[in-house]
Amino acid sequence: MVSGASDRALAAGISDAPAAPGTDGVNGSPGEPGLPATTSVALKIAVVGPLGVGKTTFVTSVSDISPLTTEEPLSGPAPASAPMKTTTTVAMDFGRISLDEHVVLYLFGTPGQERFWFLWDGLVEGALGAIVLVDVRRLDESFDVLERLEDRGVPFVVAANCFPDAPLYPVEELRAAMDLPDVVPVVLCDARERPSCRDVLLDLSSYLLELVPEE
């Protein structure tokens, strides 16, 4: 339930990850939308995946507020599929989106570089579900991410980010390549487009509702 705490306080309370330098709050500049007065439920969603799959882009595109990001210069080589990538998330991305007048999702994007994976526990803990972003050109890099979520019992959907120069595969081929059960949703998305990202969040929400046991 929403207690009236600020976005910044909620982010700090859920995660011990450091704040981005020079960021005084996560509500963004004046004039940005606040929480609707009718909001009654706040849910935590993790946005995960290996380096360079579009996690920061996803959170930035779909967030109702100016997202908190912790981008720093890339210390190692960029992924072969993203040779122009020069920065990486070193702590977390944080955004917020209202699905309707009652439900708000708080989005926590995890770092992609393995040397920052020690932050995973704090960022994923308490998440109702997760979105696993993947690049179809290097699906093998997503296997560790999937295993981490499965070990923690966090439900997830897989969203293949449709990079401009990436081949398009049917979702069932992607599911088979990642050896995923039929019940796990696999969808295509464009992390640059807000409607596409919102559809992924709705797919995750529907999947989570399906997992609720009938009384």
pLDDT at 86 over 70: no
Q: Examine the pLDDT at 96 and tell me if it is beyond 80.
A: yes
pLDDT tens-digit map of 182-197: 999 999 999 999 999 9
Distance separating alpha carbons of residues 108 and 27, to the nearest angstrom = 15
Between 187 and 72, name the one with better pLDDT. Answer: 187
Tens digits of residue pLDDT in 5-15? 445 444 544 44
The mean pLDDT of 115-132, rounded to a whole number, is 78
Alpha-carbon span 16 to 42, nearest angstrom: 19
Task: Choose between 104 and 111: higher pLDDT.
Answer: 104
Is pLDDT at 77 greater than 80 in this prediction? no
Q: Cβ–Cβ contacts within 10 Å for residue 179, how many? A: 8
Q: Cα–chain-centroid distance for residue 67?
A: 12
Mean pLDDT of the chain: 79
Give the pLDDT band of residue 111 (cuts 50, 70, 90).
Answer: confident
Among the listed residues 155, 102, 100, the one whose alpha carbon sits nearest the alpha carbon of residue 124: 155
Q: Which residues pair with 72 in a beta bridge?
A: 88
Mean pLDDT of 168-173: 94
The closest of 198, 32, 17, 22 to 6, measured between CA atoms, is: 32
Please give the CATH topology (third level) of the domain spanning 7-211: Rossmann fold (3.40.50)
Q: How many residues does the chain have?
A: 215
List, for residues 20-71, the tens digit of each pLDDT value.
333 333 344 455 667 778 877 889 999 999 888 999 999 999 999 888 876 5
Query: Which contacts qualify for 145-154: CB closer than 8 Å, 24 or more apart?
Result: 145/48, 145/49, 145/50, 146/178, 146/180, 148/48, 148/120, 148/124, 149/48, 149/124, 152/124, 154/46, 154/124, 154/127, 154/129, 154/130
Give the pLDDT confidence score for residue 72 in this predicted structure.
55
Say if pTM beats, i.e. exceeds, 0.85. no
Q: Which pLDDT tens digit goes with each residue over 23-33?
A: 333 344 455 66
